Chains A and B, each alone.
Chain A
């Protein structure tokens, strides 16, 4: 079952930040990391990843740099210190939320 795109939107920023946690990536690689990491449940149109990365850059959470690849300009993104802080905060909030939901949904012993 694929995740609903609308439901995913609320978590997209955190997922994008998480996909950059282990190093700089360009848009296509970020999209592939999301797809592979979610076992193909998060399969967003690749073209919608780029505006989201630009928005995160404008917010100071990621930093973009240009390079050349295959004769084309390629923009690669990495987390800023503010981006790492946000990711850490979002991750903790999500773990608390998920633990609370699981505690309610799991059948009583």
Chain B
């Protein structure tokens, strides 16, 4: 590989994407370039044709970010949030949850953590130019999982009686916990595969 155009493109991939993802895309671009050279094109023409065939750097980076596992998982979690929230709101209101023996500090703390986790998921779900932002999901998902678990535990310990509304809210949380755990395992392994490198080198990506 000797074309400056190809080298610059590969450097752009390596700056903005996890190591393994950048390696894979770079292999594809260089192979495209080598096919052009083998077909008889000069270095400059082959490089220009290869970049045109591979796709503009911004377009390719945008596709990697749009389809990043963390971004997709964050979107799915946010999409299920309003349903779980509505179930819990109905259950807590009908059960007069404000009278339960749960310390005010614990309620405030849970609320603040929920808001922070949702904000983190929103950052990952809306990322368009930064792959790194999509990886925030790996930190926010376990928090959502723990909050669902805390809500279920609070019902078991503090609710004077298990109403239908509480039962539905607990079922919604248990379903979401299973989904979050599944999503976390999928996203986690995909992120590990994206960041993985046989030589253990660390690269920065934006």
B-binding residues in A (CB < 8 A)? 26-28, 45-52, 54-55, 57-60, 64, 66, 69-70, 72-75
Q: How far is the CB of A9 from chain B (nearest CB, A)?
A: 11
Give the residue of B26, B27, B54 whose beta carbon is less than 8 angstroms from that of A45: B54
**Does B28 contact A58, Cβ atoms closer than 8 Å?**
no
A33 to B36, CA, bound (A): 17
Known: A45-B59, A47-B59, A48-B55. A54 touches B190 (CB 8 A): yes
Interface residues of B in 9-40 (CB under 8 A from A): 20-21, 23-32, 34
Taking CB atoms, residues of chain B closer than 8 Å to A46 are 28-29, 32, 53-55
> How many residue pairs at the A-B interface have CB separations less than 8 Å?
88
**Does B60 contact A58, Cβ atoms closer than 8 Å?**
no
**Main secondary structure on B side of the interface with A:** helix
Q: How far is the CB of B41 from chain A (nearest CB, A)?
A: 16
Q: Categorize the interface residue count of chain B.
A: 20 to 34
Taking CB atoms, residues of chain B closer than 8 Å to A49 are 28
Closest to A57 in B: B190
> 4 other contacts beyond A51-B64, A73-B24, with CB at 8 A cut-off?
A45-B55, A45-B56, A46-B29, A58-B186
Closest to A69 in B: B27
User: Among the listed stretches B65-73, B96-104, B115-123, B141-149, which one makes contact with chain A, having 4 or more residues with CB under 8 Å of it?
Assistant: B65-73
